[in-house]
Chain A
Amino acid sequence: MPEQLVFAMEVTLNGLMTGVMYALVALGFVLIFKASGIFNYAQGVMALFAAMTLVGIQQGRVPFAHVINEIFGTDIHYFGWEVPALLAILLTVIVMIAFAYLVQRFVFKHLVGQEPIILFMATIGLAYFLEGVSDLMWGSEIRNLDVGLPQGINDWIDVTTFEALGYGFFIDNLDIAATLIAAILVMGLIAYSQYTKNGRAMRAVADDHQAALSVGISLNYVWVLVWSLAGIVALVAGIMWGSKSGVQFSLSLIALKALPVLMLGGFTSIPGAIIGGLIIGVGEALFEFAIGPMIGGATENWFAYVLALVFLVFRPQGLFGEKIIERV
């Protein structure tokens, strides 16, 4: 097999796994957008906040330590215990659910029926507010996140591909784990929305608010539910990205990577978010591999957006989005 082709295969595989990570972030957007028509700009910051909270709980850090020390003149930073990863994840989930409740109770409950642009503005405000809270609560240093996911090169793939193709693929165990977890998460979400009472209520609210009310569904409850789910998805995304490159402010910028994914896959489709993520992941990796060297590299920064623009021109509703039909 020609060398270039083998390299391209490795690039594609890695691109697919990066794509899964993009899809995870996009998924959080889709959940909220579908049920409430809110484009949640804060999704990326939610991932950052969730990851920060997870690390903080795990390491037994005192939340708001800086503020407390400032006021009381103390010097405490740690509780002096360490929380096992699984328990810490569970506690973080509870924090994210509480966050969902507060957001609904104090922000979006009062904005029901407002223009989409106003709701969008509110999420921008929310994003920066949450970033500040995250800073205040846990500090702004880069933190290492380790919840026990495997890391490093996968030896089995390395050896197998070396024997078969004469070149060992470098596939990170973390990416494999992320892919598996993402797959389980997505299947769980789909099953949840298809077969449970709350899932049915979610789909109903996504479809028609008035009809949902008339069959006894509380919109508020469903909105808290979708914000909670989006918070949990943000936590998963935060864990994956955080384990890969540390928990830091730039984590919140992955939200920007989810934008082209959404344009591609459609804002209202869970499968769309997945396929869109994969196309972007593979597309930008292959483009960088094939064309990048000729034009000086760093094409990952913009390729996804160009791809999304092209898609927008030909299919404004995205690959799987609901068709936009205007009756005249």
Chain B
Amino acid sequence: MLDNAAEGYVTADGRQIGPVVMEMRNITLRFGGVEAIKNISFDVREGEIRAIIGPNGAGKSSMLNVISGFYHPQDGEVFYRGSRRPPMKPFQVARQGIARTFQNIALFEGMSVLDNVMTGRLNHMKAGFLSQAFWWGKAQDEETINRQKAEEVIDFLEIQAIRKTPVGRLPYGLKKRVELARALAAEPQILLLDEPMAGMNVEEKEDMSRFILDVNDEFGTTIVLIEHDMGVVMDLSDRVVVMDYGKKIGDGTPDDVRSNQEVIDAYLGVAHD
């Protein structure tokens, strides 16, 4: 179904999925003698929600870290927007329009929620050194625009009430949401979410799922997410990569994956034992 759709396809719920925006080719990542990722290839299409699932230690987070430049694979190539991406530092990847969140939350604990979200706008600030230092014209306009964008994201994720609260004081679930807000504020082309629902209760998971769908729907943001919770992933995503012990054992729509015998054996089978 997907092979003959080079220009994209339309999902069951009527969303237009575009052409391939990012492709991982034969990625192999080793830590010393341990192969965390073994020769994995997959692609990500514009506007889709792409999930990477697998049991603990399958190499999902490593894969996300390869995409975001925190890890550099020994073998394989990353293609982004049609061209091969040279090895990059995480901040360079971020500047290319790929934002991310972390499994264990990496927020600026000492800053307010608003300030945290504003740091997501850093790459959209261009005013020169002097203009900034002395707060002249351009810097001020820019600040107003960036502030506005940040407030929009805050409204969107319904965290207005805690705008001025120092992040360190927030409960876990809200921190996760603030982290998402910061990533969104960057207006990324690809949003990487590392276990966005880890450690959340049912209600928080539902909220987060709704936000992920809304972000994708409203802004057309391509989302790559890692999840543990199979139920949530199957409902959310358009296509799923399944990993186990560093290998790819399945790739396709949630339905394809569900009926894939290898996946059932390695992952679902265990879960339903």
A positions within 8 Å CB-CB of B? 188, 191-192, 195-198, 200-201, 203-204, 206-208, 210-219, 322
A210 touches B91 (CB 8 A): no
Known: A195-B135, A214-B100, A216-B122. 7 other contacts (CB 8 A): A191-B135, A192-B133, A195-B132, A207-B108, A214-B68, A215-B120, A216-B94
Residues in chain A near residue B92, CB distance under 8 A: 216
B positions within 8 Å CB-CB of A? 68, 70, 89-92, 94-95, 99-102, 106-111, 115, 118-120, 122-123, 125, 127, 129, 132-133, 135, 139, 143, 182-183, 186
Q: How far is the CA of A197 from the CA of B123 in the complex (A)?
A: 9
A196 touches B119 (CB 8 A): no
B110 touches A196 (CB 8 A): no
Q: B210 to chain A: closest CB distance in Å?
A: 24
Residues in chain B near residue A191, CB distance under 8 A: 135
Return the contact of A208 from the options B68, B100, B109, B143 (Cβ within 8 A).
B109
Return the contact of A213 from the options B90, B107, B143 (Cβ within 8 A).
B90
A207 touches B135 (CB 8 A): no
Q: Known: A196-B133, A197-B125, A204-B119. Is A218-B108 also a contact (CB below 8 A)?
A: no
Q: Known: A201-B122, A203-B111, A207-B108. Is A216-B95 also a contact (CB below 8 A)?
A: yes
Q: How far is the CA of A195 from the CA of B125 in the complex (A)?
A: 12
Closest to B90 in A: A213
Residues in chain A near residue B115, CB distance under 8 A: 200, 203
Tell me which of A192, A201, A204, A215 has the highest count of chain B C-beta atoms within 10 A of its own C-beta. A215
Q: Known: A208-B109, A211-B106, A213-B90. Is A196-B99 also a contact (CB below 8 A)?
A: no
B91 touches A218 (CB 8 A): yes
B91 touches A216 (CB 8 A): yes
Q: How far is the CA of A211 from the CA of B111 in the complex (A)?
A: 12
Return the contact of B91 from the options A197, A198, A203, A213 (Cβ within 8 A).
A213
User: Dominant SS at the A interface?
Assistant: helix
Closest to B93 in A: A216
Q: A199 to chain B: closest CB distance in Å?
A: 8
Residues in chain B near residue A200, CB distance under 8 A: 115, 118-119, 122
Q: B161 to chain A: closest CB distance in Å?
A: 23
Q: How far is the CA of A101 from the CA of B27 in the complex (A)?
A: 35
Q: Known: A197-B132, A213-B89, A216-B95. Is A208-B125 also a contact (CB below 8 A)?
A: no
Q: How far is the CA of A204 from the CA of B167 in the complex (A)?
A: 13
Q: How far is the CA of A213 from the CA of B111 in the complex (A)?
A: 16
Return the contact of A216 from the options B123, B127, B132 (Cβ within 8 A).
B123
Q: How far is the CA of A251 from the CA of B51 in the complex (A)?
A: 61
Residues in chain A near residue B90, CB distance under 8 A: 213-214
Return the contact of A217 from the options B91, B127, B135, B143 (Cβ within 8 A).
B91
Q: How far is the CA of A316 from the CA of B197 in the complex (A)?
A: 38
Closest to A213 in B: B90
Q: B272 to chain A: closest CB distance in Å?
A: 36
8 intermolecular pairs with C-beta atoms under 8 Å apart: A191-B135, A195-B132, A196-B139, A211-B119, A214-B101, A215-B119, A216-B94, A219-B91
A215 touches B182 (CB 8 A): yes
A214 touches B132 (CB 8 A): no
Q: A7 to chain B: closest CB distance in Å?
A: 43
Q: A327 to chain B: closest CB distance in Å?
A: 13
Residues in chain B near residue A210, CB distance under 8 A: 102, 106
A215 touches B123 (CB 8 A): yes
Residues in chain B near residue A188, CB distance under 8 A: 133
Q: Known: A195-B135, A195-B143, A197-B132. Is A214-B94 also a contact (CB below 8 A)?
A: yes
Q: How far is the CA of A322 from the CA of B118 in the complex (A)?
A: 23
Closest to A210 in B: B106
